[in-house]
């Protein structure tokens, strides 16, 4: 009976974690380049019976009191929205822009770039956008900026640089580093993207479905409340067993 309390508490913890992930997705629904996260729970079997080492008539070892939560990032593309800003860039197909330090870069699909004070092409928080030579891209003081499908930046007919767009062989190895950026392990190769096309004057929006996310949040709240009622019922039963039955 006491294990029932543990089961109910485990369910409430799981739904609290699920709500946190869903709330973070919903909070970033308007963030360009944001990739949604999905939470799944895995219950590991630790029973000797499950391993086949004891007869099925023998008692089984208990399961862990709490399932393991695993968060997986959804790298599916979001909808492209035209902005008309020449420094807003979006990738059609697989691939990521590379920003930050040449020795410790970050990958992102958020292409809302700006011209920094020193003329560099940067993210809104100042991280430089890198070219294929792993160098920050410097924009000229004059001339309209044009970016072709291959990511080559030019102004007044002169080529400035080519955006470093990479397509990692294993996106599941990337770890989130901030809202829209990802870090690749040092052992992961970052080859150039072969089928990516750059679209100038557009942004890729978050791949979050706000309606579906709200429905999932309501579902998580209902499961949490049901688990809470179950825990309350077990507690009341235990109270009767300790206080009332003992008197008889």
Reported as a single tens digit per residue, the pLDDT across 203-246 is 999 999 999 999 999 998 898 888 777 777 766 676 766 666 65
Reported as a single tens digit per residue, the pLDDT across 43-67 is 544 445 444 555 555 554 444 555 5
Reported as a single tens digit per residue, the pLDDT across 101-148 is 999 999 999 999 999 988 999 999 999 999 999 999 999 988 899 999
What is the C-alpha separation between 8 and 228, in angstroms, rounded? 7
What is the C-alpha separation between 193 and 166, in angstroms, rounded? 5
pLDDT at position 46 is 47
- Do 218 and 212 contact (CB within 8 A), yes or no? no
- Taking the whole predicted model, whether its pTM rises above 0.85 is answered as no
pLDDT at position 45 is 46
Q: 């485990």: which residue's tokens?
A: 10
What is the C-alpha separation between 74 and 208, in angstroms, rounded? 9
- Do 208 and 26 contact (CB within 8 A), yes or no? yes
What is the C-alpha separation between 74 and 51, in angstroms, rounded? 33
């Amino acid at each position: 009976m006491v294990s029932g309390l543990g089961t109910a508490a485990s369910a409430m913890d799981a739904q609290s974690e699920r709500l946190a992930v869903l709330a973070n997705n919903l909070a970033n629904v308007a963030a360009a380049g944001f990739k949604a996260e999905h939470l799944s729970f895995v219950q590991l079997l630790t029973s000797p019976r499950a391993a086949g080492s004891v007869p099925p008539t023998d008692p089984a070892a208990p399961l862990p009191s709490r399932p393991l939560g695993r968060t997986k990032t959804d790298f599916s593309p979001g909808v492209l929205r035209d902005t008309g800003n020449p420094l807003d860039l979006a990738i059609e197909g697989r691939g990521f822009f590379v920003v930050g330090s040449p020795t410790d870069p970050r990958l992102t699909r958020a292409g809302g770039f700006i011209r920094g004070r020193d003329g560099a092409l940067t993210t809104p928080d100042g991280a430089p956008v890198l070219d294929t030579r792993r160098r920050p891209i410097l924009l000229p003081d004059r001339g309209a900026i044009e970016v072709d499908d291959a990511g080559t930046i030019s102004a007044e007919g002169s080529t400035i640089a080519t955006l470093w767009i990479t397509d990692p062989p294993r996106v599941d190895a990337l770890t989130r580093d901030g809202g829209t950026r990802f870090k690749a392990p040092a052992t992961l190769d970052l080859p150039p993207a072969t089928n990516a096309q750059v679209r100038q004057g557009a942004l890729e929006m978050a791949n979050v479905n706000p309606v579906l996310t709200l429905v999932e949040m309501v579902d998580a709240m209902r499961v949490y409340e049901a688990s809470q009622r179950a825990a309350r019922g077990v507690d009341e039963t235990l109270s009767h067993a300790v206080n009332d039955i003992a008197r008889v």
